[in-house]
Amino acid sequence: MARKYKYGVVRKVGNAVIGAALRVGVAPRSYVLLTTVGRRTGLARTTPIRLLRFDGKEWLVSPYGNVAWVHNARAAGEVRLRHGRKTRTVSVFECGAEESAPVLQAYVRKEPVTRPYFDAKPRDPASAFAAEASAHPVFRVADAPNPS
């Protein structure tokens, strides 16, 4: 059975360290700072996250379930992604189970630390990941149109 996510001291410290590395641009290129606007407060909320490049597209995966950034991204339909000095605003589109399955499978293969939060194992078929799609939201990233 998959482990349930708990935001504790170790995670807070880890996020602070990787967040600082991302702000100065020394963290791995596959990670970004994700900023959403709080759906209730209107305040900016930032968290480090892996930006998965798979099948020629970019994806945001929530391995820990329906956490705050997921709710905020759903409500706003766009997020900011930052790595070092480079920041871009992108549109996000939540995917259904069929589209999410191969993305989740690729994510679990690339992020071993998140494997305990999934019932499906890296070598399982995509259908096993489709069954978990509602517990691990996936968003396809698209560049936001420039305002004219």
pLDDT digits 0-9 by tens, 54-92: 999 999 999 999 999 999 999 999 999 999 999 999 999
Tell me the per-residue pLDDT of 27-53, one tens digit each, with 9 for 90 and over: 888 999 999 999 999 999 999 999 999
What's the confidence (pLDDT) of residue 40?
92
Q: Are 117 and 1 contacting, i.e. CB atoms less than 8 angstroms apart?
A: no
Q: What pTM did the predictor assign?
A: 0.87
Please give the CATH topology (third level) of the domain spanning 9-143.
Pnp Oxidase; Chain A (2.30.110)
Q: Which helix (H) or strand (E) segment is 100 a member of?
A: helix 97-110
